[in-house]
Amino acid sequence: MRIVVCVKHVPDLQAERAFTEQGWVDRTQGDGTLNELDENAVEAALAVAEELGGEVTVLTVGPQDAEDAVRRGLQMGADHAVHVLDDAIAGSDAFGTAAVLAAALRALAGQEPVDLVITGMAALDGLMSVVPTLVAAELGIAQLTLAAELTVTEGSVRVRRELDHATEVLEAPLPALVSVTDQSNQPRYPNFKGIMAARKKPVTTWSLDNLGVDPQRVGAAGARTRVVEATPRPPRENRVLVTDDGEAGVQLAAYLVENRLV
Amino acid sequence: MTISTAPADSTILVLVDHTGGTVRPPVLELLTLARSIGRAEALWIGDGVEPVLDTLAAHGASTVHRAPADARGLVPTVAGTVAAVVERTGAQVVLLSSTFENKEIAARVALATQAALVVDAAGVERVEGRLVTTQAAFAGTWTLRGEVTTDRAVVAVKPNAVPALAVDGAARPDVVEHPAVPTQAGPDVTLVERVERAASGRPELGEAQAVVVGGRGTNGDFSAVEDLADALGAAVGATRVATDEGWIGHEAQIGQTGVTVSPRLYVGAGVSGAVHHRGGMQSSGTIVAVNSDPESPIFEIADYGIVGDLFTVLPQAAAEIRRLRG
Ligand SMILES: Cc1cc2nc3c(=O)[nH]c(=O)nc-3n(C[C@H](O)[C@H](O)[C@H](O)COP(=O)(O)OP(=O)(O)OC[C@H]3O[C@@H](n4cnc5c(N)ncnc54)[C@H](O)[C@@H]3O)c2cc1C
Ligand SMILES: Nc1ncnc2c1ncn2[C@@H]1O[C@H](COP(=O)(O)O)[C@@H](O)[C@H]1O
Say whether residue A186 is in contact with chain B using an 8 A CB cutoff: no
Q: Distance, in angstroms, between A3 CA and closest chain B CA?
A: 18
What is the pTM (predicted TM-score) of this model? Answer: 0.93
Tell me, what's the pLDDT at A104?
Answer: 98
Specify which residues A210 forms β-bridges with.
none
Q: What is the pLDDT of residues A182-202, one digit of tens each?
A: 999 999 999 999 999 999 999
Proximal ligand: closest to the CA of A123 = 2
| Mean pLDDT of all residues in B154-165 | 94
Supply the ipTM of this predicted assembly: 0.94
CB contacts, 8 Å: B210 with chain A: 261
Contact between B222 and B247 under an 8 Å Cβ cutoff? The reply is yes
Tell me, what's the pLDDT at B326?
Answer: 79
- The residue whose C-alpha atom lies closest to atom 21 belonging to ligand 2 is A120
Is the pLDDT score of B187 beyond 80? no
Is the pLDDT score of A210 beyond 60? yes
Higher pLDDT, B223 or B170: B223
Which A residues 107-166 touch B at CB under 8 Å?
121-122, 124-130, 132-134, 136-138, 140-146, 148, 158, 162-166
Proximal ligand: closest to the CA of A86 = 2
Q: Do A168 and B193 touch (CB under 8 A)?
A: yes
Q: What is the pLDDT of residues B236-283, one digit of tens each?
A: 999 999 999 999 999 999 998 999 999 999 999 999 999 999 989 998
Report the alpha-carbon distance of residue B293 to residue B275 in Å, rounded: 17
Tell me, what's the pLDDT at B136?
Answer: 87
Pairing of strands B142-148, B130-137: antiparallel
Contact between A34 and A7 under an 8 Å Cβ cutoff? The reply is yes
Report the alpha-carbon distance of residue A121 to residue A150 in Å, rounded: 13
Is the pLDDT score of A98 beyond 50? yes
Under 8 Å CB-to-CB from A173, ≥6 apart: which residues? Answer: A142, A155, A156, B187, B188
Domains of chain A: 2-222 (3.40.50.620)
> Could you tell me which of B197, B198, B188 has the C-alpha nearest to residue B72?
B188
* Ligand 2 atom nearest A132 alpha carbon: 12
Say whether residue A233 is in contact with chain B using an 8 A CB cutoff: yes
Chain B residue with Cα closest to A230: B144
